[in-house]
Amino acid sequence: MDELDTEIVRLLQTDARQSNRELARRLGIAPSTCLERVRTLTRRGVIRGYHADINPADLNRGVQALVSVQIRPLSRTVINTVKDDVSGMPEVISVFVVAGGDDLVLHVGVPDLDRLHAFLLDRLSKRKEIVGFRTSVIFQHVHNTALSRLET
């Protein structure tokens, strides 16, 4: 990625709804050049999609938590099976496969603490592959919406 690609990505992260013409104007390039650059970034997988930023509380997910999960037996097949299964649960927002003492970290969102407790007891603890979990309730979440390329 060159400096122009980096600036395109930065501007799209700030406002993905801006028109190609507006994006080109802000970059000081021709709209055709801008469009081709965006298409190339999309084909290369740098730009993976465009998303709306939704307030979780408005979707009845006012309580969020990170759940660190330990799985046994420890194998790629078991981890992938559990990962795929839990990612389909409506309470689960994201699933991370991690190294260290835990095998997965789940980001969950539910209406209240009672629903979080029910999710942990009725959904997770019933799985024979899940041998333990720890839950951290999220009080505040800051999300960096404008990632930039780190220099090596």
**What pLDDT digit, counting tens, does each position of 85-130 carry?**
999 999 999 999 999 999 999 999 999 999 999 999 999 999 999 9
d(CA 94, CA 108): 7
Q: What average pLDDT does the segment 5-12 reach?
A: 93
Q: What is the pLDDT of residue 33?
A: 96
Q: Does position 147 have pLDDT exceeding 80, yes or no?
A: no
Tell me the pLDDT tens digit for each residue of 23-65: 999 999 999 999 999 999 999 999 999 888 888 889 999 999 9
Q: What is the pLDDT of residue 54?
A: 86
Distance of CA 11 to the CA centre of its chain: 20
Q: What is the pLDDT of residue 45?
A: 95
Name all domains of the chain by residue range, CATH numbers in brackets.
3-43 (1.10.10.10), 56-138 (3.30.70.920)
Q: What is the pLDDT of residue 142?
A: 87
- Dmax over CA atoms of the chain, in Å, equals 58
Q: What average pLDDT does the segment 126-136 reach?
A: 96
d(CA 20, CA 38): 9
- C-alpha torsion sign, points 100, 84, 118, 90: positive
